[in-house]
Amino acid sequence: MKPILGWSIATLNNRLTGSMDWYRKMTTNAIFSTTALGSSGIDPSGVWGNYADILNTGIELGAGWQDKVNDKFSYSLNANFTYNKNKMDHINAAGASYYDASYSDSPTITRTAEGHSIGEFFGYKAVGVFQNDDEISAKPHLLGAIPGDLIFQDVNGDGAIDASDRTYLGNPNPPFYLWF
């Protein structure tokens, strides 16, 4: 990442150092896979190409101390803190606005869409656990629900739990890193 704004400082004979960099980087035409429609005749697992514009913004802070005790012994201690936020700014593939990823035989686990972070968890939002058959009868549920199954939120409010009730559940990318 190329910093937009930054500073570095060294004092006490360069024994104590510090730095700060703020960056905003737009990567255009990044290699990315898009989900293909089954009716297109293309492999539905996706087509790779230069389809993505991704924005990364963040800050890096660093501090260090180094010293020479004698001719045979010197040491240095360093720490770095980084905060980064990424966002899919635009998907350039015709007609595509998101990319789904699944693993093995599972349904879609993550979705990358315009305006969201890369690889956000995507699925049904659990709001409780069914305790008995009466509770199952009283609430929207997936077909075959039994006591002990999760209660999912009816996101679109249509009185049924189906694929249209899946939603973004969280960002798997850590917001910050710390190194020593």
pLDDT of residue 97: 72
Distance of CA 60 to the CA centre of its chain: 19
State the pairing for strand pair 73-91/176-179. antiparallel
User: Nearest Cα to 99, choosing from 50, 45, 54?
Assistant: 45
CA distance 29 to 139: 45
Q: Which residues of the chain fall below pLDDT 70?
A: 1-3, 34-46, 94-95
pLDDT of residue 23: 93
pLDDT of residue 107: 76
pLDDT of residue 151: 96
Q: Please, what sign has the CA dihedral across residues 113, 118, 123, 129?
A: negative
pLDDT of residue 149: 95
Entry pTM: 0.74
CA distance 51 to 105: 26
pLDDT of residue 44: 55
CA distance 97 to 32: 12
